[in-house]
A = this chain, B = another copy of it.
Amino acid sequence: MDKLKAYVIGATGLVGQRYVQLLAEHPWFELVGVAASERSAGKKYGEINWVLETPMPERAAELKIDKLDVDAVPKVDVVFSALPSEVAAKVEPELAKRGYLVVSNSSNMRLEPDVPLIIPEVNPDDLALIREQRARRGWSGAVLKKPNCSTTILDLPLKPILDEFGVSRIHVATMQAVTGAGYSGVPSVAIIDNLIPYIKGEEEKIVNESKKIFKRDLEIYATTTRVPVLDGHTEVVYVDTVKDFDVEAVVEAMAKFRGLPQELGLPTAPPQPVVPVAGVDRPQPRLDRMAGRGMSVVVGRVRRLGPKKLAFVALGHNTIRGAAGNAVLAAELLIKSDYY
């Protein structure tokens, strides 16, 4: 097929850079433009402070950065958004009204009932909300959201457990990477030889987004912390299951779990969305975050601490599966769906 035109708004931040990295060499998309705030507008993309671990894709370096302006977005097939939420709250509905498909990382609108909040392997059917959204709002475009990074990294391994053993209660403690707060979000003075046991709004997001994604009133208790790690959120998870289990069965359920993206062979879909890892001291951010090219959640330390009492540690790449990668995968799913 002809390549679909993609445009990234909020393209200079960490999530914006991941979008560019993923889209610049994507088999379905052609990255035709990028937009950012006034500060960067007019520069070449190659001039920004690129901070990912591999060089900037050459074709991206040549793009001129547009000043973000809803009236000046070119005609494209998908707009990927990594705007700050307060900016997104104004810009994204305007774009959807003008007919754009907006696939967004920003936290605004996530909990609105007619907005799909998609982990493609977990709740692909929620794409159908787009129909309701268009009807209700009179939009020709649409806004599609991906969940918070910590939510996604929790909910992916929860899905097979929920399906096979049932879940009655969850306690989670996260240890999140500094890139989750954006480039300037965590000063080095604040985090070297230190950790911060609080991330504003994050615990509510885990609880409320998971309830929406699983469509049930899950009992979730969450504490979120920031640690001196660059990429990769780690989550200590305790699950009270409905049926008892043995560890092997849980590991197998995770290892065998596949979703619609795998069935459809979507380009950004990892072969295995949840990867149980060998090694008593795994998963570890630096060693496991790139599993499935950053799209797999790696799970270790699966233990049965008592009857119906499961514990494990999950890890995922916060700016790939937790952000831009999940959004791109959701866009791929959308393109193959009836709502495109």
Contacts and interface: CB of A to CB of B under 8 A. Distances in A.
Interface of A: 14, 50-51, 53-55, 171, 173, 175, 178-179, 183-198, 219, 221, 223, 225, 227-230, 234, 236, 238, 280-287, 290-291, 300-301, 305-306, 309, 311, 313
Given A188-B190, A311-B223, A195 B229 contact: yes
14 contacts: A51-B190, A53-B290, A55-B291, A173-B173, A183-B187, A185-B189, A193-B285, A194-B229, A194-B284, A196-B281, A196-B284, A197-B282, A221-B238, A221-B306
Contact of A287 (B51, B184, B229, B301): B51
How many copies of this protein are present in the complex? 4
A301 B197 contact: yes
Contact of A197 (B179, B192, B236): B236
A301 B227 contact: no
Contacts of A173: 173, 223, 236
A291 B190 CA distance: 18
A199 to B, nearest CB: 9
B189 A187 contact: no
B195 A175 contact: yes
Contacts of A178: 188-189, 192
A103 to B, nearest CB: 24
A77 B197 CA distance: 42
A192 B195 contact: no
Contacts of A179: 189
A182 to B, nearest CB: 8
Contacts of A198: 280-282, 301
Given A51-B189, A175-B195, A198-B280, A228 B225 contact: no
Contacts of A195: 175, 227, 229, 234, 284-285
B189 A230 contact: yes
A325 B230 CA distance: 26
Contacts of A313: 197, 223, 225
A236 to B, nearest CB: 4
A186 B171 CA distance: 28
Contacts of A14: 189
Given A219-B306, A221-B305, A227-B228, 7 more contacts: A51-B190, A173-B173, A186-B188, A188-B228, A195-B229, A197-B234, A197-B301
A221 B173 CA distance: 13
Contact of A229 (B50, B186, B193): B193
B187 A230 contact: no
6 closest A-B pairs (Cβ-Cβ)? A173-B173, A198-B281, A173-B236, A194-B286, A197-B313, A178-B188
Given A184-B187, A287-B51, A175 B305 contact: no
Nearest to A183: B189
